[in-house]
């Protein structure tokens, strides 16, 4: 039998009997938990550390600059959300015992493989919401509220800007280098952070992947291209965004 199984069974027995288990499970403190200032500060620092360390891995310059698809560019958001979820689960396991981690990962697997919740990032948000609900149900309101508040801030920060993939097609092969410069200059003047620029001479196309604020207007930008670019530098534009 795996070593974790007896520990989980002991925690389950402890919770059902209302007593403290062998792994230190104690039950929820209720609203009185907000008086434990050391725990509150420590919990916030744990979530902050997990998010920052995940961001350091996710946005590693040796990897991030080589990403091609929008899914790959958006993947760091998933890393950060999953790290936050793991930090919250770790805290709950320490406060309530190993059975909590077992239950949460079981729910997460069910959501991921049995429920259509969209992208991996969306799954991370769903699992975080589930953990928040579970902590509330386990009478750990301090964990639930701090997790929700910190998660709200993290989502606000990482979703501030939208990532776009713009493919300019139908250009003459000899015009592609100059057209790329012209498009790049306009994008930069519009405060677009260009993540990647790729010229495909065989397909007569230029691809830009960039981030910009959510107030960005694609139709307005296309009008700028029409008015500012020479006719031989203009091409048909195909958009994709996350």
Q: Domains of the chain by range and CATH?
A: 4-158 (no CATH), 162-241 (3.30.2130.10)
Which pLDDT score is estimated for 72? Answer: 78
pLDDT digits (tens, 9 = 90+) for 21-67: 434 444 567 888 898 899 999 999 999 999 999 999 988 877 766 66
- The mean pLDDT of the chain is 81
pTM of the full structure: 0.73
pLDDT digits (tens, 9 = 90+) for 215-233: 788 889 999 999 999 988 9
- Contact (CB, 8 A) for 103 and 109: no
Residues 6+ apart with CB under 8 A from 56: none
Which pLDDT score is estimated for 229? Answer: 92
Which pLDDT score is estimated for 46? Answer: 95
Confidence of residue 113 (pLDDT cuts 50, 70, 90): low
Which pLDDT score is estimated for 110? Answer: 63
Confidence of residue 111 (pLDDT cuts 50, 70, 90): low
Beta strands in the chain (DSSP E): 161-169, 193-200, 205-213, 236-241
**Length, in residues, of the chain:** 242
3-state secondary structure of 90: helix
Helix, strand counts (H, E) of the chain: 9, 4
Which pLDDT score is estimated for 122? Answer: 78
- Pick the range with the lowest mean pLDDT from 8-12, 117-121, 192-196, 236-240: 8-12
Quote the tokens at residue 224. 């700028």
């Amino acid at each position: 039998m795996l070593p974790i199984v007896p520990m989980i069974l002991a925690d389950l027995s402890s919770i059902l009997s209302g007593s403290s288990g062998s792994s230190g499970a104690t039950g929820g403190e209720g609203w009185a938990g907000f008086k434990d200032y050391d725990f509150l500060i420590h919990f916030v620092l744990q979530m902050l550390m997990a998010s920052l360390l995940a961001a350091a891995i996710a946005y590693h310059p040796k990897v991030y600059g080589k990403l091609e698809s929008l899914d790959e560019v958006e993947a760091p958001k998933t890393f950060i959300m999953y790290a936050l979820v793991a930090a919250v689960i770790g805290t709950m396991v320490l406060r309530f015992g190993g059975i909590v981690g077992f239950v949460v990962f079981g729910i997460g697997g069910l959501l991921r493989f049995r429920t259509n919740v969209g992208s991996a990032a969306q799954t991370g948000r769903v699992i975080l919401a589930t953990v928040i609900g579970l902590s509330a149900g386990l009478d750990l309101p301090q964990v639930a509220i701090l997790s929700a508040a910190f998660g709200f801030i993290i989502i606000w920060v990482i979703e501030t800007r939208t990532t776009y993939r713009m493919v300019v097609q139908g250009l003459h092969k000899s015009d592609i280098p100059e057209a790329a410069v012209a498009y790049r200059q306009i994008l930069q003047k519009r405060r677009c952070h260009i993540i990647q620029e790729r010229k495909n001479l065989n397909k007569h196309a230029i691809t830009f992947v960039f981030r910009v604020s959510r107030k960005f207007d694609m139709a307005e930008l296309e009008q700028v291209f029409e008015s500012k670019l020479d006719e031989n530098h203009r091409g048909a534009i195909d958009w994709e965004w996350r």
